[in-house]
Structure 1
Amino acid sequence: MEKLERTITEPIGEVDLNRPKVEIGKLFGKIQAGLETFFIKKGYLFLIIGFLLGRALILSQLTPFTLPFFAAIYLVRREKAPLALIGLIGGAATLSFTHAATTFIICFLFLFVFRISKKWVRNELKVLPFFVAGTLLAGTVAKTFILKGHVSLYELMMAGVEASLGFILCLIFLQSLPLLSLNRRRQSLKTEEIVCLIIMLASVMTGTIGWNVYDLSVEHIMSRYLVLIFAFVAGATVGSTVGVVTGLIFSLANISSLYHMSLLAFSGLLGGLLKEGRKIGVALGLLIATLLMGMYVDGGANLIISLYETGAAILLFLLTPQNLTMKLSKHIPGTPEYAAEQQQYMRKMRDVTAQRVSQFSNVFQALSKSFSAHNEPSGWEENSDREFDYFLSNVTEKTCQTCFKKDHCWARNFDTTYDYMKEIMNDLDYEDGQISPRLAREWDKHCTRAKKTTEVIQQELTFYKANQKLKKQVQESRKLVADQLLGVSAVMGDFAKEIQRERENHHKQEELILEAMQEFGIQVEQVEIYSLEQGNVDIEMTIPYCNGLGECEKLIAPMLSDILGETILVNSEECAAFASDFCHVTFHSAKAFVVDTAVAHAAKDGGLVSGDSYSTIQLGSGKYAIAISDGMGNGERAHSESQETLQLLQKILQSGIEEQVAIKSVNSVLSLRTTDEIFSTLDLAMIDLQNADAKFLKIGSTPSFIKRGAQVMKVQASNLPIGIIEEFDVDVVSKQLKAEDLLIMMSDGVFEGPKHVENFDLWMKRKITELKTDDPQEVADLIMEEVIRSRSGHIEDDMTVVVSKVKHNIPKWSSIPLQKKAN
C-alpha cells in the first residue's frame, strides 16, 4: 500500500537536473584518482622529472641536477630510485652518449660510496649533501682527466662550481620532493618550501630548452604559465618571486634568456596586482608586461613571437581547472582559501572540543542521577525493613535457635513474636534502655528466655543504631556528591555552548566604526568586534602610541557609547613602550550598577590576628560577591579556618558553579577534612550588577541590614554553621536593591557586642537609622565605634563590619555625539 501511495504521489516526468553534474563530478574524481595513482604512487612522475633534469644544463656545460635528484629520491622514496635513474640516463642520452654514461657512472659511484660508509653514518640526511658534492667533484675531475689527459685550473674551478651547485640542489630537492607525495598535501607550505618548490619546477623546465613548437619556445610558454599560476593563486609577492627565481635559473641555463627574467618578474608583479580581476586580470598583466618588455628589448624584433608565446601560456592558464588552483591555494599562507581552510580546521577542532566537553557534561549528569537514584524514599523504606529483619535474625540466632519452644513461637505464632520483639526494640530505643511494665509482663508470659532475649536485643540495638547512622551519612554524602556532579555538569554544558559560539562577522560595523573615528580625527589602526550583544559588547582596537594621555578612556569609549547606544568602558589597556609601537585596548559594556565597599575590623583584646575574614569577589558573570566568615574561637586557628572557607568559596564561585552548590561543597570539604570541632559561619551576598538583585546566603551568621534613606530592613536566615553537619539546606533570601542603598554586614562580635542590650535587632536598627552619613567607610567606622563604646572600650570578640553602597554606574567621560543633531 505504501509503495502504491508513493507511486501515485510522485510527480510524473520530473527530471533531476543535478544528476549530470554529479556524474561529471564523479568522472573527474575517478580521472584525478587514476592520475595520482599512475604518476605519484607508481612513481612515473619521477621518471618524467628525471628525464627533463637529465638534459638540463647550466652555463651550457654543467649538469649539476642529475646526482642531487637521484640522491634525494634514493633517500626519500628508495623504491622509486630505479625509475628516476632511468629517466636521468634517458634525458642525458638526448644530449650525448658521453653525458648518459657519465650520469650512470656518477650515480653508481655515489651508491657505492654511500652504501660502504653507511656503517659509520648515523644521520643520513645531514651527510647526504656532502656525499653528493664530493662525488660530483671527483667524478667531474676524473671525467676531464680521462678525456683530455690533464686538468686545468679553469676546469678544476668549474668542477668546484658544479659540486657547490650539487650541494645546494640536494638540499632543495630534499625539501621539495616530499611535497609531491600524497601524505603531505593537506599541510600548509612554509616560505622556504615554496621557494624550493619553485626552484625545482624551474630546474625541471630547463630540460625543455631547445624545444620549439611552430617556432614557439616551450621553455618560455611553460615559465610564463608557471608565473601566471602562482600570481593568480598567491598574489603579487609570490608571483614576482616566482618570476625572479624562474628567470634566474633560465638565465643560468641560457645566457640569451637574461631579459626573460625581467619579463617574468614584471608579469608576476602585474598579474598579482590584477588578481581581483580573476584569471582575465592575471592574463592581462602578463600581456601588458610582454608588450612593454618586447618594445624596449631588441627594438621589438621578437615582439610577435613573444606575444604568441604569451598567448599560448594564457590559453593553458585559462584551460587549467579551478579545482587545481583551489587545491594549490589552500597550501599557501596568506590566500583566502588558506584562511578558509584554517578556519574550517579551527571550526572542526572547536566542534570536536565542544562535543567532548558536552559528553563529559552528560557523564557527570548521569553520575549525578545514579547517586540520586539510591536516595529515593521508597528505597529507604525497603532497606529499613530488610535491615530490621537482619536485626531480628541476629537476635534469634543467639536466643531462639537453642530454645525448645522455637517452633511454637516462630512457626505457630510468628506475627505475635515479631510484633513483641519490634515493640521491645522501640521501647529500648526511645525509653533509655527500659521497657514498659505491661510489655515486660506480657513478654515473660510469651517467652521462656525473656530476660536473655531483652539483653541480646539491647546489645544488638547498639550495633544497629551505629550501622543506621553510618548508612545515613553515606546517603547524605551521596546526595551531596550528586549535587556537586550536577553543578559540574551544568558548568561544562555552558562551557560547551560558549565554545560553539563563533566570532560573528562584523566587517561592516568594523568599517563604520573605523570610518567614524577617522572622521573625528582619531587615528585607529584596526578594529575587531567580537560581540555586539546588548549589555555584552566586546570590541578590541589597535591604536598608535598614545603617550599615556588617556585617549581611549576620554575619547574612544565615549564615541563608542554614542554609536552603540549604551555605555562602553575601557576593560583593559596595553600601552606601547615605544613611539613606533601600537597600543591594544579592549572595550566592554559597562554594568548598570557599581558597588563601593568599605571594611572596619578589630581583633579580640586589640590583638593582631582576627578570627574573622572577609572578601569581595568580582565574578565574570557580572556579579559581585561580599562574604564574611567567622571562625570558631579566636586567634590564629580561627583565622586560618575562616580564611580557608572564603578561599574555597571564591575558587568554586569563580568556576561558575551555583552559589548553593558551592556552599554545600565548602561545607562537605570542611566537615570531612578533620575530626576537630572547628566550625565557621558564612555570610554571603551576591549582587547582580545589571539589575541590583541581591541574594543572601547565611550559614550560622548574624542578620544583615539594608539602609534605604530613613528605612532600615533586616535580612535574616537560619542555618547551622559550616562543618557541623554534612548535609543541610541553604536558605536563600532575595532582595531587590536600589541605587544609593547601603548594605551592612557584620560578624557576631559586632551584632552581639553591645553590653546591657536585650534586643540586638532594635539596637542595631536604631544606630543605623541615626547615621547622618552614607559614606561606606564612615558608616563602618561609626558602627564599630558605637559597639566598642558600649563595652567601655573593651573588645571582647573579633569584630568585622562590611558596608557596601550600590550606585548607578556613571562613566567618568560623557558620550561624544558623532553628528550634530538637527534643530
Structure 2
Amino acid sequence: MRNIKVVAELATISNQSVTSKHGKLKHTMEFFINSNFKLYVILGILGLLLGRAVILDFLNPFSIAFMAAAMIQELNLFVIGTSILLGVLSVGEKGILLKYLFTSLVFILMYVASHKIKANKKLAVSIAAALANFAAGYFIFYVQNYYLYDLLMIIIESILIAVLIFIYDCSIPIIKNYKNRRLLSAEEVVAVTIMAAFCFVGAEFFIAGLSVKNIFIIFIIMIFAYLGNTGTGAAVGIIMGIVQALSGSILPSAIGVYGLCGMMCGLLKNLGRFGCPLGFIISNALMTFYINGSTEVLIRFYEILAASMLFVVIPTSLIKRLSGYKTVIAGEYLKERSYSMRVKEHTIDRLSELSGVYRSLADTLKETVQEGSYFSQTDAAQIIDQVVGKTCSGCGLGSNCWKRDFYKSYQYLFNLLTTIENGGDPKRNDGFKAFKERCLKPEEIAEGLRYYYDMYRNGLSWKKKMNESRLLVSDQLKEVSAVVSDLALRIDMDEDFDRDMEELIMVGLDSEAVRVKDVIVTRAADALDIDIRMDSCGGKRECIRSIIPAVNRITGKKFNKKDMICDLIHSSICSIKLKEAHRYQIATGISRMNKSGTVSGDNYSFIELKDGKFMLALSDGMGAGPKAALESNTTITLLEKFLYAGFDKDVALKAINSMMLLKSNEETYSTIDMTVINQYTGEVEFVKVGAVSTFIKNEDGVQVIRTGTLPVGILSNIDVELVKKKLGDGDFVVMVTDGVLDCNKDIVDKERWLAEVIMNANTRNPQRLADEILQSCLDANGGVAPDDMTVMAAKIWEAM
C-alpha cells in the first residue's frame, strides 16, 4: 500500500511539473503574439531606423523627437531608447553617439524634474527636448572648438526636434490603434507620411545595385495616390522628395519631380493598377528632359520599374483593406457624402414646423366662427324691450299694460313679431284688432317692431358675412400650410454645417474604435448641434456609455442628448441627436391665486427653445373668468408655437395681435410679458406688450424693468419695446401680473414696494420665492385676491 501511495505521489508531482511547463510555454507564446509585443516590435524598428537617420552629415533630430513623443504617449522608454541607441551605434559616428547619450540624459533629467507641472504636456516636453539638445550640442562643440555654422545647425536641429515631437505625437496613436482605425484626418496622413519618410533616411540598402529606400519611397507615393487623390499624391511626393534631398540622395531641384509624379499617379489612377506606374514614368521622363535636357534620368528607371511591379502584384485583399480607411483621409469621405440630402432633410423639418404654425392659426380662426343664424326667443325679447322702451314709456296706459297685464301684452307683441318674421303684415294679423282695442299706439308699436326686426336682420347678415370671411381666411391659411410643406427645394436655408468639426468627430470616434455611419454638425448662433448615425445597438444605450463621453473629449465641449429615445431610421440604423450643454441652467417657480369664485384669466408658459434660449411668458386676459382665460390662453399658445418654430419675436407678436383683432366682434385684449434668456451667454431680453414691470434680483439689489405699451387686440399696429440685460450666476427674474402689483391700495409707488418685498424674501428657491411674494401681496390686501394674481420666478445659475 505504501509503495502504491509513493508511486501515486510521484505521478502527481510529475503531472504538476508538466502542467507548469505547459503553462509557462503557453504564457510565453501569448506574450509573443500579444498586441503590445507586436506594437513594441514595430516601434523598435522605427526607433532603429530613426536612430540611423542623419541629415547634413551630423544632424539627427529624429531620434530625440521620437523618444520625447514616446514619453508623451507613456510608452516603454527602455524599449524605445534601446532601439534608438542601436540605430545610432550602427551609424558608426562617435560624435553623434556622444551627442545622443548626453542629450538623452539631460532631457530625462529635465522631464523628471518638471513632469508634475500642470501645463500643456506636449508643449512642455517639446521645449525641454529642444533645450536639452541645444545644451548638449553646445557643450560638445564648445569642447571641440566649434564654428558659427555649427551653432546655427544646433539651433536648427533643436527647432526641428520641437516640431517633430508634435508630428510623432500625432503618428504614434495611429500605430498603437492600427487595428481599430479606419479613418485618418489630413493632418494624420501627413504626419504618418513624414514619419515613414524619415525612417527611410537611415535605411540605405542596395540589392542588385538598386536602392531599397528609393523603391519603397516610390511605392509609398503610388499607394497614397491610388487610395487618395491628386492632392494626396502630390503632398506625399513632395514630402518624400524633401526626405531624399535631406539625405543627399537627390539635388534639391528634383524635389518637385516627386511631387509631380505623385500628382500624375493620382490623375491616372482611374486606369487601374497600371495607371499609377504609367503616370510616374511619364512625369519622371518629362521632368528629366525639362531640367537637364539629357537622357540621364532624375529617378532611376529600374527603381521605378521595381516599385511598379511591387505595386501591381500587391494582393487585392490588401488593397481592399487599405481602401477600408475611406481613402485614408476622413475629409475625402465627408466630401463624398451628398450634402443635398442633408439640406433637404433639414429643410423638410423647418417647413413642417412652419406648416404647423399656419395650421394652428387656421384652427384658431375657425373656432371663432359664431354659430346660430336663426331668430331666437332671446332675440325677440330684446326687440320687444327696445320697442316698449321707446313707445310705451310715455303712454298713460303703460303701467296698466306692463305691470297689471304683462303676460297678455307680451303675447300680443310676440305674435305680431312672429308675423313680421314670417314675412307678413302685422296689421293684418288676426289678433291685431284685439290688440288695437287695448293699446293707444298700435300703429307705432307695429312699425317699431318692423324697424328693430329689420335692424336685427341687417346685423345678422353682417355677422354671417364676418363668419364667412373668417372661414375663408381659415381655409386660405390651411392652403398655405399645405403649400409650405411642398417648398423644400425653394426655400433659402440658413443652416451652417461645420465640416471641420464633422471631420474631427469622425476621426476621433474612429480612433476610439467607435464605428459611425455619418456625422452632421450644424452651428447655430452660440452652440453646436450634432446628429450621429450608427448601427443600432439594440437598446444597450451605447450612445450614453460611449458616444457622448467620446464626443465631449474630442470637441472639448459638453454635449447632452436631445431626446432620451433614439430615433431609428430603419431597423439597423440609429440616429443620435446631441446638443451643446448650456452654460446657464434655469429653474422656475409659479404661484397663483384666482379672483374669488372665478376662473383665472392669467396664463403662463416656460419653454426651452431650439436655439439654446429659454422663454418665460405671462398673459393677462381682459377682466376675469372664462372669457379672460380664453383670451390669455390663445395668446400664450400662439406665442409658444411661433417662437418654437423659430419666428422672430416681432413677427410673432404682430401675428398674434392681428389674430386677436379678428377673433371677436367684442372688445377683447390680453397682455404679453415675455422674458427670453440665452442659456449660453446669460443675455436676457424683456418684451412687454401692455404688461406690468418685471424685477431682477441679484447681489446688488432689485432692478425694475418697465415699459409703456398697449395690450394686443386693441390697435391694428402695436409697439413692441425690447429691453436687454445681462444675468449672472444666482440671479432671479420675477414676473407678475397686474393683480399682484395693484394689491396694496395704500401704496402710491407700487413698484418700489414690490421690489422691497422681493428683496426681503430670504430664499434661494424660486418656488419659495414666488410663494412668499404672493403671500405678502395677499396679506397687504387682507388675505383676499382683488384680481387674478400670478407670480413667476426664475433662478439662473452657472452650470459649467
Q: TM-score range by the shorter chain?
A: 0.3 to 0.5
TM-score for both structures, normalised by structure 2: 0.40
